[in-house]
Amino acid sequence: MRGHLALGSGDMRDTFAGVIRRAFPAVLCVCISAVCADAQDAPRPAVVAYPKATKPGVPAAAPALALAPAPTPAPASVAKPAAPDPGLQPSWETQKLARNYIFAIPPPRGQITDRNGLPLAQSRIGYNLAINFPVPPRFSEEEASRFIAEHVRHAQDLTGRKITVDPAKALKQYKERAVLPMVIAQDLKPAELERLKRGQAQAPGLTTIPVYLRTYPQGATAAHVLGFVGRQGGFPSGEIENNELLWPEFEGRDGIEKSFNTQLTGKLGMMQVSFDARGQKATEKVTLPPRPGQNVVMSIDLKIQQVVERALRAVPGKRPCAMVVMDPKTGEILAMASEPAFDPNIYIPSVSPEVMDKLTKDPFNPLFPRAYRAAYPPGSIFKIITGLAAMNDGYVDPDDTFGGEASIKIGGTTFRNWKHSDVGPLNFREALIQSCNTYFYKMGIKSGYRPILDYGSRLGLGTKTGIPVSSEEPGNLMTLEYMQKHHGRGIMPGDIANMSIGQGDTLVTPVQMASAMCAIANGGTVFQPRLVLQVQDLDGRITFGYDARVRSHIDIHRDTMKALRAGLDGVVSSGGGTAGRAGVPGFKVVGKTGTAQWGPKKREKVAAWFVGFAPLDKPQYAFAVLYEGKPGDNDVHGGTYAAPIAGRVLKEILKAPPKEDKKAVVKKKPVDPDESN
């Protein structure tokens, strides 16, 4: 057995070989069988469990040269050069028709799989429809135009699709490339292929050409992470040149497809084709089979990704939103989704202008990956960082109390609490549960901005996480350098107040906040977020491995961690918390909500957040949820919109730990779960 790129079982090889024998010379069948046998016998990778090769979308064999026999009395396939015609006199014309060519055979792209080997992006065999011109090419321009028009009409009748061919370009193709088929329609559907097969006698000049195409078997799932591909130019035109591609290759244009394009792109194959003095194909030989690209194994768990995407699609009003789920023990990204999304299959074989126009004019921009390419003000979720900095560096004790007034004045400016009444003196736990702004204004002023910025930076805020996707948004921290550059002044007390509750110019991304929550969950280890686990070659050998990497470590004091966990727990489980809708029966879900205004004043929107981890005692998942409210809608809050999304996801993915074997349990002294921190 072999891995993902197994080209099929014996039955699949035989089926495809039958197609090849009908369309191509016998010499190719031998070559393809050899390629398939080699792929079939390759070992299965030991690290990742791959699906069986018979899954939909896995190519059964490598497409051969797109040269079907021309509709002439000549044999469909010729294993050796035709015998010379004794009556044929050498001339410039015969020298022109007798040619040897070397063509490049595009390889299939490697696969992209989830962490369990389930396919997210694959290569498949598609069929293009082409016109084969009679050889030698003796048509006049009028005859050639009529031949082309007739076969286009037949093609439309047989396939049922509208086929448009530029007469001038088609005639030029005939004059310069008559020995090769002219493609008139791409990626035929199964029903179209069947109708063509039944109606072949009506138009013997029509032929189908197998080519490699990209496919995304899960549709829109993980689209913003996978990205998409596009063709490198159009089909060859002009005089035939040696080493030209038989059909255009695909290249990555966004996401993992782009970042790992070099690894996913295979090695070109080579085919030698000769034409005799009559312009008829004499020999055809694959001198070098194409080699498929390498496989990229991601950290994404397809099942969790699908759960997250269903929860995001179910939000009220179908508003833009995003969620990231990570493993706090390793920093691996298990799910990263943005809504609305798109189906990358629309780019295969090429995206239509109508579809592209609809996508680009959509006000919610389905092509935009909000999970990592959009930054928002964090609002009250930033109070976790403010509290961690102030308590861990000793500026504030967890039991210290500050008044919870409805408003206070700082530097001549009034700063308000979201509650319009004085809630009395609060300690950290109580302030976090109630999300009391005035408490955190005072806490931030007492600690100063330096520790807040220091801990924010060490948790990965204000800089790209380094996940392998292009154009990741770094976010922003209100550093002294930033304030001087953009505001022409230093950091004032009012700036510290805004910073302390995640307002002002502070911006974060969902993936940054999920990563920060990993560190809070695991006791202070800040991992480099990991999106790709490894790259494997065709034989299942690991060519690149991406191990867990620690970005920094924060020594969180025991009392600080205890206060943080107690506060985050109370936000969800206490009657006065703001995230009760994130609760899951049987599990301790902990976290913090946030609500922040952003955008231009006249169209100001609300960014509703919920970040956290679960379960409290042995965290399996850390997460961040972001929901975009409508402009002017002030009824949107993190507790009412973001927290329920997390609750729906966690109800499906949280798993109870296995029951202990009581006979094997050794009695030990009870240990405070916070002692390890």
Domains of the chain: 66-79+93-298 (3.90.1310.10), 302-653 (3.40.710.10)
| pLDDT value, residue 5 | 34
Residue 101 parent element (H or E): strand 99-105
pLDDT at 418: 86
Residue found by looking up tokens 């292009």 in the block: 470
Position 23 pLDDT exceeds 70 = no
Q: What's the pLDDT at 199? A: 87
Burial of 120 (0-12, 13-18, 19+ CB in 10 A): buried
pLDDT at 657: 63
Of 62, 67, 74, the closest CA to residue 38 belongs to 62
pLDDT tens per residue, range 410-450: 988 999 998 888 999 999 999 999 999 999 999 999 999 99
- Residue 25 has a pLDDT of 35
C-alpha 212/C-alpha 124 separation (Å) is: 6
- Angle of helix 449-458 relative to helix 493-500, nearest 10 degrees, comes to 40
Please report, as a single letter, which amino acid is at residue 542.
I
Residue 69, pLDDT above cutoff 80: no
Question: What per-residue confidence (pLDDT) applies to 34?
Answer: 37
Model pTM? 0.84
Q: What is the pLDDT of residue 14?
A: 36
Query: Pairing state of beta strands 295-298 and 112-113?
Result: parallel
Q: Which residue has the tokens 């967890």?
A: 398
Which tokens belong to 517?
């929550």
Cβ neighbors of 314 (< 8 A, separation 6 or more) are 648
Which helix (H) or strand (E) segment holds residue 38: the answer is helix 26-41
Task: Return the H-helix or E-strand segment holding 450.
Answer: helix 449-458
For residue 606, what is the enclosing H or E element?
Answer: strand 605-614
Q: What percent of the chain has pLDDT over 90?
A: 71
> What's the pLDDT band for 96 if we cut at 50, 70, 90?
low
Q: What is the pLDDT of residue 237?
A: 87
User: pLDDT higher for 178 or 459?
Assistant: 459
Which tokens go with 132?
């084969």
* b/e sequence 243-266, b meaning 16+ C-beta within 10 Å: ebebbbbbbbbbbbbbbbbebbbb
Query: Mean pLDDT highest for which of 10-19, 316-325, 444-453, 631-640?
Result: 444-453
Phi and psi torsions of 645, nearest 5°: -60, -45
More confident residue, 21 or 396: 396
Find where tokens 């050794």 sit. 666
Which of 6-10, 225-229, 363-367, 661-665 comes out lowest in average pLDDT? 6-10
Please work out, in degrees rounded to the nearest 5, the angle formed at the alpha carbon of residue 329 by the alpha carbons of 119 and 113.
Answer: 5
Query: What's the average model confidence in pLDDT over 2-19?
Result: 34
